[in-house]
Amino acid sequence: MAGSSFGTIFKLTTWGESHGSGIGVVVDGVPSGLPLCEEDIQVFLDRRKPGQSKYTTKRNETDSVQILSGVFEGKTTGTPISMAIFNQDQHSRDYREIAGYYRPGHADYTFDEKYGFRDYRGGGRSSGRETIGRVAAGAIASKLLKELGISVTAYTRSIGSVEMETFDPEEIRNNPFSFPDAAAAKKASVLLEDAMARCDSMGGIVECVASGMPSGVGDPVFEKLDANLAKALMSIGAVKGVEIGDGFSAARATGLTNNDAFCMDEGGKIKKLTNHAGGILGGISDGSDIIVRAAIKPTPSIASPQHTVNKQGEDITVQIKGRHDPIIVPRAVVVVECMTAIVLLDALLVGMSSRLENVKKIWKP
Amino acid sequence: MAGSSFGTIFKLTTWGESHGSGIGVVVDGVPSGLPLCEEDIQVFLDRRKPGQSKYTTKRNETDSVQILSGVFEGKTTGTPISMAIFNQDQHSRDYREIAGYYRPGHADYTFDEKYGFRDYRGGGRSSGRETIGRVAAGAIASKLLKELGISVTAYTRSIGSVEMETFDPEEIRNNPFSFPDAAAAKKASVLLEDAMARCDSMGGIVECVASGMPSGVGDPVFEKLDANLAKALMSIGAVKGVEIGDGFSAARATGLTNNDAFCMDEGGKIKKLTNHAGGILGGISDGSDIIVRAAIKPTPSIASPQHTVNKQGEDITVQIKGRHDPIIVPRAVVVVECMTAIVLLDALLVGMSSRLENVKKIWKP
Amino acid sequence: MAGSSFGTIFKLTTWGESHGSGIGVVVDGVPSGLPLCEEDIQVFLDRRKPGQSKYTTKRNETDSVQILSGVFEGKTTGTPISMAIFNQDQHSRDYREIAGYYRPGHADYTFDEKYGFRDYRGGGRSSGRETIGRVAAGAIASKLLKELGISVTAYTRSIGSVEMETFDPEEIRNNPFSFPDAAAAKKASVLLEDAMARCDSMGGIVECVASGMPSGVGDPVFEKLDANLAKALMSIGAVKGVEIGDGFSAARATGLTNNDAFCMDEGGKIKKLTNHAGGILGGISDGSDIIVRAAIKPTPSIASPQHTVNKQGEDITVQIKGRHDPIIVPRAVVVVECMTAIVLLDALLVGMSSRLENVKKIWKP
Amino acid sequence: MAGSSFGTIFKLTTWGESHGSGIGVVVDGVPSGLPLCEEDIQVFLDRRKPGQSKYTTKRNETDSVQILSGVFEGKTTGTPISMAIFNQDQHSRDYREIAGYYRPGHADYTFDEKYGFRDYRGGGRSSGRETIGRVAAGAIASKLLKELGISVTAYTRSIGSVEMETFDPEEIRNNPFSFPDAAAAKKASVLLEDAMARCDSMGGIVECVASGMPSGVGDPVFEKLDANLAKALMSIGAVKGVEIGDGFSAARATGLTNNDAFCMDEGGKIKKLTNHAGGILGGISDGSDIIVRAAIKPTPSIASPQHTVNKQGEDITVQIKGRHDPIIVPRAVVVVECMTAIVLLDALLVGMSSRLENVKKIWKP
């Protein structure tokens, strides 16, 4: 089916495989008049680019974006923005071997079951490179949100057993893990190097906070803001769990400890004293920060010997070669941030017509 | 926006408020030829019906379903199946008071912010009664899945700090909590009665397992099977977190411990030795059981005094009256099961065309 | 598939069969704050109700609408509006005979081919009664358009060879054909009575004009305003052709005669000197009247002997019994008007976010 | 809004402007296993390429397609197929003038009204070059339909007042107008040269016939096969009217002359004696040829003096320069054919799940 599109009004459609010509995205429904250039996109892509630390794949890609349509005289025109990032450093040879067997923890087997065969080079469509299109689209969403006074920030909350204990926003881009806590980053590097030495890999948790989101955005029932965030994050390759606000902890809380009391702030506006809800009540934003978390599994590609089967139906032992991240988390941070931005922006655009008085503001001013 | 529909081919649209005429659902895209009667739906509705134990609201509703269209001579015709459940025991009086203030943990405030006003009676559209439509649709999905050899079963995994320790499927319907573990149910009742005595409420975790699901179902990228499950479950009123397979635990595992090895079973078919992935790899079913979990927050309606604000912008203290479940979990079990069934069936129907050879089986046999 | 929904933001989902419990529609995405009561809907339904002249079926239905949700204290709440019209005067007996053969010009055969069997009573889902749901939804759309200063009016342009020659809006509801020309109505009645005497039926053309539509509504490419109008009208049972503006005549015109010159009006606003385009250029409204036309085939149910086959695969001759309109056109007028209103309103709601400056008007005023 | 996508399962998303980097399309939902190479696409693109006769624009484009994803080892993989056609011969200078005024019959004014400004070079997104993406996608659809035994053929039915009188399929590609009638082509060339001499342009009608379509495809109500065909054709730039089967003539027929009698053919299968319905009854294919027609307006770009206004709000007279087709019809033929193929294929894919027995054929064989 057509599963490569996301969003209702702000809608992206991604394409591309790890070792094909390139990766791209078409972003439709972008309001006209937003100043946009390739550099706006590139800064986001650079955050997920490989080779930025010893903890990421050695694949050498500049991931340079080209805007092919939808921008004229430096501004979005309202028509689809097509962006392409052509692949450069494909070592497809490394993958010829895996054509013949099913890597544990990967989608090789399920692609074969679904489609009858697969582009096995570098994971084909199921490669992490697929997220490039999401990040390019998310860069546009983030820029537009900023125009509305909304900022979205993701960071690493934990790697393996190492959890962040302090929150310093300045620190996030200072360490190779995107931890907002320098001490945690240090501990994580020890842990990770140990895992790398054992030809093993690690996972972690990414958290994302959106500030400045107006209240009243999102829908009741199926298009709840949290429901769409959950889909958006769970659709990222290695994500196995999603939480809003207190998430799974809420299941162990009581009504008295979990409810957020409303109160009046000094400016005479309604606010919440706490934010266990993560900024969403009944699927609709309540004006507090939106808080989401995604659990990311350890990289399945590891050089340790593993049991599996080949296409001839024989049990075999394999050791995955190639250039793989020992941990996906740091590069997933910007992907989580971008998917969050995309969901929030789409909800804002869709939500413009919720009141008749707003419809009149636009069409009968 | 139009947020009350869900699904691509098997598509439900729900309507109704807690204290309006009733609740209903239109289910479109049901294949023709499925034997169906009201009793098939009623048995599912009876599982979420209030008043079945002292741990649920005293509201007295039979929740009797009427099939208004789409079934002829005992079989589905392929046209939309409209079902209505008319409300009976509305005590709207109980709610007149809450019209004037914002209940903590509820959607009162966010509805007002979004729409300018709200149907305050019993929570209106944000009431738990909205799930009746989902259950009615899920009953159809479950019946159809059974025809394909697929069974879906949800149960309570934890209530507060009480976790299930054994799994006895026979036990699930034997205790008021849908625990598959009689001892856990006993412990939970002690805990819950204590909470009730303190005018407090509790939450918990619901788990759902689907067996018999063929491999190769679901899509890469945005329409991943797990992404749609996450959206489906997170769209249920009180859900704050969703996991697939090992979920958040996977974030603390390593590649070696988290990867599921493939092997050949006795019948010469490929299977997995473990199921940390919860039956989904790269968004596509792998033939193992599908395993999902939803974290459910404690009921926000509690009789203890709480701080909040009224519509005049004054800080006040309130005690919520009315008939409320001290815990939502037991009645949410069937809702989680139904939403899971709906997602799986829709993915199966959408996935029929993934291979040209399958298209030929239907259109050029 | 799920083919019973229409629209992106203003979205209707219809259900029901000719001789089932009733007919209904769920309208989702209606902005909150619109005053609405059952009478608003009923006046539209009364225009398509049978039995209003000797030229329509004798089936006796009051077609009384009930609003089941989405309206509170006399205003729309923004949540789905469910409406039901229960059937009363079903003579299902009349149809038992047609269960066994395929009526020419009807969907009996194609339903059997698609679904394997069909609800044959009165045409089941393919009955003209299916349009009741469209009209109920269209009544809401029309009321909302009126709040924006937009009026939509449909009327009969021709019946058989009789074409309207004058246009008097007052006359439209004065004659049984909805002709804006009393003389044409008179001629049509002669023609039609002659056809009825020969057990034959007639068709015609319905035209619809929307005034007050702002410019800049609709989208380029696939969601062109005219493309959605074409789909909307062609989806009405007996429609076989759709035109915008000059339509098929434009194919015989030249650039010089078909182009509409722009000029400045007295108020200093841009207008067009002519309106061959029917108010749409490049899929987007140009501020002139929107003009569409639908060609409606003659009623296929006729009492004359016709050749066909039965389910046993035998060639037979049949004479259709039952209560049938000798012409569908007059009752289709309000359906065309309603579908037009639905498309225009949806385009207006969807189009609110086309410019960043409009997004800011709502979310950062 | 996101208006650049079309289709439910077989879904295309187009991008690009006349004078930007290029034009492209992402086709998602293509079943895996279809042999496909660039040559398959190129033969279709060559049919709409400019410069093939003196009756088309002199713009010199090879319109060479590149497949960027979704094909591996010569077969479709089931993942999105991205195709790009980079622009070569842009004379953007020719267009600087039109930046300042509104060309009659063009979308200049409506784009400005919708988006606040526009990419004026060559019509930007509203250029006829946008159809390149449709043709590339249609080439895939046509190839897949052929595998199912279905062929789709479009041709010119009339140009101005010249109508085809004979039908010789071999002749279609023999003359510059795609007329299936050599004599008509000759007459048209006289007429057209006369128009060109007067700096005028012409329109015409394109007809498309699909043979081999199985019965039972399409949906009742809003997703009728004819409704989707109407939308698909009306979404092509210059189309102002659409007909199915007898179309507008049906409005002047009677039930007796318009109904198609069913009968048994020699092979014991049901067929229709006539095909006034154009192969569709109740929105569902009946096994006869599908017949659609599109009315195409005369090219709005003409060199004759025309009245219009400029952006300063002054009435002016203009003469359109640049390289324009004096008639769009011949190059629109392949676009109509492609959009028809796309709709039919999507309906076939969507319709696979209409019966439970078919669902079982795929998932429980």
Buried b (16+ CB within 10 A) or exposed e, B254-282: bbbebbbbbeeeeeeebbbeebbbbbbbb
C74 Cβ under 8 Å from any chain A Cβ: no
Tokens 């070569």 label which residue?
D88
ipTM score of complex: 0.97
**In the structure encoding, which two tokens stand for residue A286, read together?**
């309540």
CA C278 to chain centre: 18
Q: Under a CB-based contact definition with an 8 Å cutoff, are residues C350 and C31 in contact?
A: no
User: Across residues B22-30, what is the average pLDDT?
Assistant: 97
A199 Cβ under 8 Å from any chain C Cβ: no
pLDDT of residue A97: 79
User: Across residues C254-279, what is the average pLDDT?
Assistant: 96
User: Helices H, strands E: what count in chain C?
Assistant: 9, 18
pLDDT score of B88 more than 90: no
Helices (H), A148-299: 182-197, 225-234, 255-258
Alpha-carbon distance of A279 to B240, in angstroms, equals 12
Angle at CA B6, nearest 5°, toward B155 and D358? 90
* Interface mutation target, options C13, C193, C254, chain D, most CBs of D under 10 Å: C254
Q: Under a CB-based contact definition with an 8 Å cutoff, are residues B79 and D220 in contact?
A: yes
Inspect the interface and report whether the beta carbons of C31 and A349 lie closer than 8 Å. no
Residues of chain D positioned with their CB less than 8 A from the CB of C300: 255, 258-259
With both helix axes pointing from N to C terminus, report the angle between D131-147 and D329-350 in degrees, rounded to the nearest 10: 50
> Which tops the pLDDT comparison, A308 or C51?
A308
Question: A159-184 pLDDT, tens per residue?
Answer: 999 999 999 999 999 999 999 999 99
Alpha-carbon distance of B326 to B199, in angstroms, equals 8
Residues of chain A positioned with their CB less than 8 A from the CB of B235: 221-224, 226-227, 283
Query: What is chain A's mean pLDDT, rounded?
Result: 94
Q: From residue B121, how far is each of A224, A286, A287, C272, D71 by CA, in Å? A: 21, 20, 24, 52, 56
pLDDT of residue A92: 62
Q: Count residue pairs from B and C with Cβ separation < 8 A.
A: 156
Tell me which of A155-169, B47-61, D179-193 is least confident: B47-61
Alpha-carbon distance of A340 to A318, in angstroms, equals 37
* Strand partners for B318: B306
Backbone φ and ψ of B66, nearest 5°: -120, 130
At residue C105 the predicted structure's pLDDT band, cuts being 50, 70 and 90, is very high
Of C220, C250, C278, the CB nearest to D125: C220
Interface partners of C (3+ CB pairs, < 8 Å)? A, B, D
Rg (CA), chain B: 22
Query: What is chain C's mean pLDDT, rounded?
Result: 94
Of D11, D14, D115, the CB nearest to A78: D115
Burial degree of B170 (CB within 10 A; 0-12, 13-18, 19+): exposed
Residues of chain B positioned with their CB less than 8 A from the CB of A223: 1, 3, 235
Inspect the interface and report whether the beta carbons of C79 and A356 lie closer than 8 Å. no
At residue D91 the predicted structure's pLDDT band, cuts being 50, 70 and 90, is low
At residue D52 the predicted structure's pLDDT band, cuts being 50, 70 and 90, is confident
Question: D261-277 pLDDT, tens per residue?
Answer: 999 999 999 999 999 99
pLDDT score of D169 more than 90: yes
Backbone φ and ψ of C206, nearest 5°: -105, 135
Q: From residue C4, how far is each of C70, C87, C309, D224 by CA, in Å? A: 20, 19, 30, 10
**Residues above pLDDT 90, as percent of chain D:** 87
Alpha-carbon distance of B183 to B323, in angstroms, equals 28
Tokens 């909350």 label which residue?
A157
pLDDT of residue B134: 98
User: For D80, which DSSP code?
Assistant: -
**Residues above pLDDT 70, as percent of chain B:** 97
Alpha-carbon distance of D150 to D141, in angstroms, equals 10
The alpha-carbon gap from A131 to the nearest alpha carbon of chain B, in Å, equals: 9
pLDDT score of C226 more than 70: yes
Question: C236-253 pLDDT, tens per residue?
Answer: 999 999 999 999 999 999
For chain B positions 16-35, those within 8 Å of chain C (CB to CB) are 16-17, 20-22, 24, 26, 28-29, 32-33
pLDDT score of B127 more than 70: yes
pLDDT score of D97 more than 90: no
Alpha-carbon distance of C129 to C324, in angstroms, equals 12
Helices (H), D173-309: 182-197, 225-234, 255-258
pLDDT score of B95 more than 80: no
Inspect the interface and report whether the beta carbons of A33 and C360 lie closer than 8 Å. no
In the sheet that holds D239-244, the strands lie side by side as: C162-163, C151-159, C204-211, C290-296, C239-244, D239-244, D290-296, D204-211, D151-159, D162-163
Question: B226-278 pLDDT, tens per residue?
Answer: 999 999 999 999 999 999 999 999 999 999 999 999 999 999 999 999 999 99
Alpha-carbon distance of D171 to D178, in angstroms, equals 8
User: For B94, which DSSP code?
Assistant: H
Question: B148-198 pLDDT, tens per residue?
Answer: 999 999 999 999 999 999 999 999 999 999 999 999 999 999 999 999 999
B8 Cβ under 8 Å from any chain C Cβ: yes
* Strand partners for B84: B24, B66
Q: Which residue of B has its CA nearest to D365?
A: B148
At residue D53 the predicted structure's pLDDT band, cuts being 50, 70 and 90, is confident
One DSSP character per residue, B2-50 reads --SEE-SSSEEEEEE-TTSSEEEEEEE-PPBT-B--HHHHHHHHHHH-S
At residue A93 the predicted structure's pLDDT band, cuts being 50, 70 and 90, is low
Alpha-carbon distance of C179 to B226, in angstroms, equals 56
User: For A253, which DSSP code?
Assistant: S
pLDDT of residue C204: 98
Q: From residue D83, how far is each of D64, D65, D338, D344 by CA, in Å? A: 10, 7, 16, 21
Of A4, A28, A66, the CB nearest to D2: A28
Q: Count residue pairs from A and C with Cβ separation < 8 A.
A: 88
User: For B67, which DSSP code?
Assistant: E
**Other CB atoms within 10 Å distance of the CB of residue A88:** 12
B285 Cβ under 8 Å from any chain A Cβ: yes
B90 Cβ under 8 Å from any chain C Cβ: no
**Other CB atoms within 10 Å distance of the CB of residue C84:** 25
Q: Under a CB-based contact definition with an 8 Å cutoff, are residues B236 and A223 in contact?
A: no
Alpha-carbon distance of D47 to D337, in angstroms, equals 11
Inspect the interface and report whether the beta carbons of C214 and A357 lie closer than 8 Å. no
Q: Which residues contact D201 (CB under 8 A, 6 or more apart)?
A: C254, C255, D195, D298, D299, D300, D301, D302, D324, D325, D326, D327
pLDDT score of D56 more than 80: no
The alpha-carbon gap from A277 to the nearest alpha carbon of chain B, in Å, equals: 8
**In the structure encoding, which two tokens stand for residue B119, read together?**
């149907």
pLDDT score of C201 more than 90: yes
Tell me which of A123-127, A321-325, A354-358 is least confident: A321-325
Tokens 């738990």 label which residue?
B128
Angle at CA C214, nearest 5°, toward C208 and C220? 85
One DSSP character per residue, C78-106 reads SS-EEEEEE-----THHHHGGGGB--TTS
User: Helices H, strands E: what count in chain B?
Assistant: 9, 18
Alpha-carbon distance of C257 to D314, in angstroms, equals 22
Global confidence as pTM: 0.98
User: For D95, which DSSP code?
Assistant: H
Q: Under a CB-based contact definition with an 8 Å cutoff, are residues D182 and D122 in contact?
A: no
Alpha-carbon distance of D79 to D31, in angstroms, equals 8
pLDDT score of A49 more than 90: no
pLDDT score of C93 more than 80: no
Inspect the interface and report whether the beta carbons of A2 and D11 lie closer than 8 Å. yes
At residue A323 the predicted structure's pLDDT band, cuts being 50, 70 and 90, is low
